[in-house]
């Protein structure tokens, strides 16, 4: 049975499944902290929300890429991926705090593509920084 768990296909399927599940859970957390409903807005064609959500998806999965690559067990990867998500969530609040003249959530909800693009780039960019720090820790 031990050779079953060491099989590269089983390991890949397990990592894939865990990352999908974690991404869904973490997107639900983002849904709770934003003023708009991501999937409703995307269904309506709100490009700003789609960009911001896409950046979050890329950010979460990129952090998990680093976590899986640099950890021996799936549980350790989940732990570091979750810690990385928490940092990405903090970055979301910092972005909102550092822009007191505009409400990021409201602008994205209204379809402001410029704010959606910046939000996407911040999520993607910081996911590389967070992922790189997983290697060091």
Using CA atoms, how far apart are residues 97 and 102, in angstroms rounded to an integer?
10
C-alpha pair distances (Å), 132 with each of 4, 67, 117, 135: 31, 9, 23, 5
Residue-wise pLDDT for 64-83, tens only, equals: 999 999 988 889 999 999 99
CB-count exposure of residue 57 (10 Å: 0-12, 13-18, 19+): middle
Q: Give the residue-averaged pLDDT of 90-94.
A: 93
Residue 2 confidence class, pLDDT cut points 50, 70, 90: low
- Give the pLDDT confidence score for residue 4 in this predicted structure: 65
Q: Is the pTM of this model over 0.85?
A: yes
Residue 62 Cα to chain centre, angstroms: 8
Tokens 């999937």 locate to: 39
User: Per-residue pLDDT for 62 more than 60?
Assistant: yes
Residue 11 confidence class, pLDDT cut points 50, 70, 90: confident
Using CA atoms, how far apart are residues 69 and 63, in angstroms rounded to an integer?
10
User: Per-residue pLDDT for 104 more than 90?
Assistant: yes
Which is nearest to 31 in space by CA: 115, 109, 125, 102? Answer: 109
């Amino acid at each position: 049975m031990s050779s079953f768990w060491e099989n590269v296909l089983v390991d890949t399927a397990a990592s894939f499944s865990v990352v999908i599940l974690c991404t869904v859970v973490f997107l639900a957390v983002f849904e709770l902290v934003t003023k708009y409903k991501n999937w409703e807005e995307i269904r309506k064609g709100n490009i700003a929300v789609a960009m911001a959500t896409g950046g979050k998806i890329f950010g979460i999965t990129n952090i998990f890429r680093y976590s899986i690559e640099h950890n021996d067990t799936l549980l350790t990867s989940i732990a570091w991926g979750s810690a990385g998500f928490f940092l990405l969530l903090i970055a979301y609040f910092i972005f909102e705090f550092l822009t007191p003249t505009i409400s990021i959530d409201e602008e994205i909800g209204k379809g402001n593509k410029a704010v959606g693009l910046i939000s996407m780039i911040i999520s993607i960019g910081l996911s590389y920084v967070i992922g790189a720090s997983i290697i060091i820790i």
